[in-house]
């Protein structure tokens, strides 16, 4: 059974970061005005939905390969936003999933989004498709769907692996407008090469705050930014310390350094 090792700095660091993010949320709740910088990829979502509507072709939203985890939860939240826009234009979204738990979750979120968008009858539960739990069977299923349905816009949000480029290149070959976002660092270059817009790294977790502009969500993004500044300072300080201080110093923090 694995538990936190309190003789090292790591658990304290995680709780400190959590407290800072909590502080950001508290400040935003108290009325502090916060700003979030522009994310062109997210601004392009409406353009992509509009273009698909004009062409009279469906859109595809792929929420990644993972099961129930934080990136997938974010992806489903973004899918809700895209569906709300699609409902406004009575457009169709196809959402293939690789995990059956996500299937039920996505169906509920999209059904509610279409209802909120004023077009509950435009929602077709059959457009939320479980394809396969296997990575490449899923990829070939998505590629087949893209080709048969001639999708006009693709949204790739969530955790992806080697199938990312197969999906994005197929969409590129079809001439679809493509917007991607992933926290999977190894897949970011593939999406940048094959998609029109890409949300990378920490931006991925700021999307819901950016879309809703809810002060509390903006507060959490502000807290995360403070954490990043602190972490960067800590990395700089420890690099300098490791260069000039004896190895016993870093070992006293519970960090296994190579001297």
Site for other proteins in 152-211 (CB under 8 A): 162, 165-166, 168-169, 172, 183, 185, 188-190, 192-194, 200-206, 208, 211
Residue number with CB closer to other proteins (47 or 69): 69
Q: According to CB under 8 A, which one of 40, 56, 144, 257 is a site residue for other proteins?
A: 144
Exposed, middle or buried: residue 160 (CB in 10 Å: 0-12, 13-18, 19+)? buried
3-state secondary structure the chain: CCCCCCCCCHHHHHHHHHHHHHHHHHHHHCCCCCCCCCCHHHHHHHHHHHHHHHHCCCEEEECCCCCCCHHHHHHHHHHHHHHHHHHHCCCCEEEEECCHHHHHHHHHHHHHHHHHCCCHHHCCHHHEEECCCCHHHHHHHHHHHHHHHCCCEEEEECCCCCHHHHHHHHHHHHCCEEEEEECCCCCHHHHHHHCCEEEECCHHHHHHHHHHCCHHHHHHHHHHHHHHHHHHHHHHHHHHHHHHCCHHHHHCCCCCCCC
Q: Which of residues 23-52 bind other proteins (CB under 8 A)?
A: 25
Q: Which is nearer to other proteins, 53 or 84 (CB)?
A: 84
Contact map string, positions 214 to 243, toward other proteins, x by CB under 8 A = x-xx--xx-xx--xx--xx-----------
CB of 69 to other proteins, least distance (A): 9
- Which of 128, 140, 199, 200 lies closest to 170, judged by CA? 140
52 vs 183, beta carbon nearer other proteins: 183
Contacting other proteins (CB under 8 A), which of 32, 54, 136, 251?
136
| Contact pick of 9, 50, 57, 135 for other proteins (by CB under 8 A) | 135
Q: Identify whether the C-beta of residue 110 lies closer than 8 Å to the C-beta of residue 93.
A: yes
CB of 51 to other proteins, least distance (A): 20
- In the complex with other proteins, the residue whose CB is nearer, 81 or 92, is 81
Does residue 128 belong to the site contacting other proteins (CB under 8 A)?
yes
Between residues 22 and 246, which has the closer beta carbon with respect to other proteins?
22
13 binds other proteins (CB under 8 A): no
Answer for which of 6, 26, 32, 240 binds other proteins (CB under 8 A) is 6
Size of the site for other proteins (CB under 8 A): 78
Give whichever of 38 and 248 is closer to other proteins, judged by the CB atom: 38
Within 63-122, the residues that bind other proteins by CB under 8 A are: 70-71, 73-74, 76-78, 80-81, 100-101, 103-104, 109, 112-113, 115-116
CB of 166 to other proteins, least distance (A): 6
């Amino acid at each position: 059974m694995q538990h936190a090792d309190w003789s090292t700095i790591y658990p304290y660091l995680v709780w400190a970061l959590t407290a800072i993010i909590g502080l950001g949320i508290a400040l935003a709740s108290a009325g502090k005005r916060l700003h979030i910088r522009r994310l062109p990829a997210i601004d392009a979502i409406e353009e992509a939905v509009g273009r698909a509507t004009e062409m009279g072709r469906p859109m595809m939203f792929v929420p990644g390969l993972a099961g129930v985890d934080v990136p997938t939860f974010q992806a489903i939240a973004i899918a809700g936003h895209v569906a709300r826009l699609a409902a406004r234009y009575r457009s169709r979204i196809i959402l293939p999933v690789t995990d059956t738990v996500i299937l039920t979750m996505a169906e509920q979120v999209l059904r509610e989004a279409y209802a909120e968008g004023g077009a509950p009858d435009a929602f077709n539960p059959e457009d939320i498709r479980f394809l396969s739990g296997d990575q490449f069977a899923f990829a070939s299923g998505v590629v087949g769907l893209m080709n048969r349905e001639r999708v006009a816009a693709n949204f790739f949000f969530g955790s992806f692996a080697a199938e990312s480029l197969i999906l994005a290149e197929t969409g590129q070959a079809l001439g679809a407008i493509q917007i991607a976002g992933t926290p999977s660092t190894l897949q970011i270059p593939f999406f940048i090469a094959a998609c029109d817009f890409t949300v990378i790294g920490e931006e991925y977790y700021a999307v819901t705050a950016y879309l809703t502009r809810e002060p509390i969500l903006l507060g959490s993004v502000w807290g995360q930014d403070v954490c990043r500044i602190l972490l960067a300072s800590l990395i700089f300080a420890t690099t300098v310390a490791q260069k000039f201080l004896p190895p016993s110093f870093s070992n006293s923090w519970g960090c296994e350094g190579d001297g």
